[in-house]
Amino acid sequence: MDFKTIAILGPGLLGGSLALSLRRLCPDVQVHLWGRRRVVIDEIVQNDLVDLASTDLKEVLAKADLVILTTPVGIMQELSLAIRDVGGMASGCIITDVGSVKEPVMQVFDQVFGDTDITCIGSHPMAGSEKMGMAHARDDLFEGACCVLTPPADSSEVEDAKLQALQQFWEKLGMRVRVMPSAEHDCLVARISHLPHLVAAAVVEVAFDGEAKATELAGTGFIDSTRIAAGAPEMWTEILMENRLAVMAELKVLQAQLGDAYAFLEEKDEENLMRFLSDAKGHRDSVAER
C-alpha cells in the first residue's frame, strides 16, 4: 500500500523535516500540512514547501490515507478528538505520531479511535536536534536514524498489513525501523535518551555550581557530552514527566553505577576503576562502529 495523500499536523522541526523529506524522496505523494498559527502557515505557503498548507484541519485531512501528528505529546488528545470530529480522511486510513513516549499516545489513540475503522500505530523517529521549529527543518533529518513503531496489542491481519506499509514509509525516508510494544519502547528510550538528557543537564549545573570559572576550561569533551542539555526545556519536561517511572528506574541504576565509581576512587581501587572504564569503552565503541 502506497500512500497518496499524507497529512502532517504540526509544522515544527519534525513536521517540517517530514514535509521537506517527502518532497525530496516521494515527489508523487500529496503532502498536506496543518498548523495552528497563521504566520507559520503563510510562510510555508509562500515558500511552496508542500502541496497544501492550512490552519483549517478539514482541508488538510481531506482524503488523507496517512495522518501524522507531529505536535507535542501534551496536545495529542485534544488534536485526536478534533480529527475524529472533523473526519474526511480516506477510508481505512492510518494515524501515527512522532512522540518520544508511546504508552500515553497509544492510550489516547485507543480511547479516541478504538471503535472506528482507523488504524493507529505509534511512531518514534529518533531524529531531532536541540534546535526547534520549522526554521531548522532538514530534508535529511531522518536518514540513518532509528524509528520505533508500536502497533496496537493483538493486531489483526489488516492492521499487520498497515504496519508493513508504515514501516516501508519510514524506510523510504532512510530510517532503520524496529517494531516493539509501546511499554518496551518507553523503557528503552528512558535508558538511551531520557536519562542521558537529564544527566547532561546535571553535568552542566555542576560545572556552573557557584562561580562558572570552570567553564572557561571547557573542551570538546564537555561541549559534546552536554550538547543535548541545550534542548527545549518545555518539550523535555513534558517527555520526562510522561515517562517518569521508567526514567526514575534508570536514574537509580545510574546512581548505583556512580556510587561504585565513587567507592573505587575512595578505596584507590585502580583495578576496578580500570575495568569499569574499559567495559564502558568497549560498549561505547560497539555503538560507534554500527
- Residue pair 98/122 in contact (Cβ under 8 Å)? The answer is no
Residues forming beta bridges with residue 284, ordered by sequence position: none
Q: Please say which residue, 90 or 254, places its beta carbon nearer to its own copies.
A: 254
Q: Does 222 bind its own copies (CB under 8 A)?
A: yes
Contact 141, 173 (CB under 8 A): no
3-state helix, strand, coil in the chain (%, to 5): 55, 10, 30
Contacting range for its own copies; rule: CB under 8 A; set: 14-22, 46-54, 112-120, 185-193: 185-193
CB 148 within 8 A of CB 124: yes
Residues 54 to 93: which contact its own copies by CB under 8 A? none
Cell digits of residue 111: 480511547
Check binding of 199 to its own copies (CB under 8 A): yes
Site string for its own copies, 93-132 (x = CB under 8 A): ---------------------------------xxx----
The least CB distance from residue 271 to its own copies, in Å, is 9
Look at residues 12, 22, 111 and name the one whose alpha carbon lies nearest to residue 64. 22
The count of other CB atoms within 10 Å of the CB of residue 225 is 14
Least distance (Å) from its own copies to the CB of residue 7?
26
By DSSP bridging, strand 122-125 and strand 146-150 are antiparallel
* Window 229-268: residues binding its own copies (CB under 8 A): 229-234, 236-237, 240-241, 244, 247-248, 250-255, 257-259, 261-262, 265-266, 268
Least distance to its own copies, CB of residue 146, Å: 5
Draw the binding track, 34-53, toward its own copies (x: CB under 8 A; -: no contact).
Answer: --------------------
End-to-end CA distance of the chain: 31
Nearer to its own copies, 12 or 128 (CB): 128
- The interface mask with its own copies, positions 202-221, x = CB under 8 A, is xxxxxxxx--xxxxxxxxxx
As beta bridge partners, residue 30 has 5
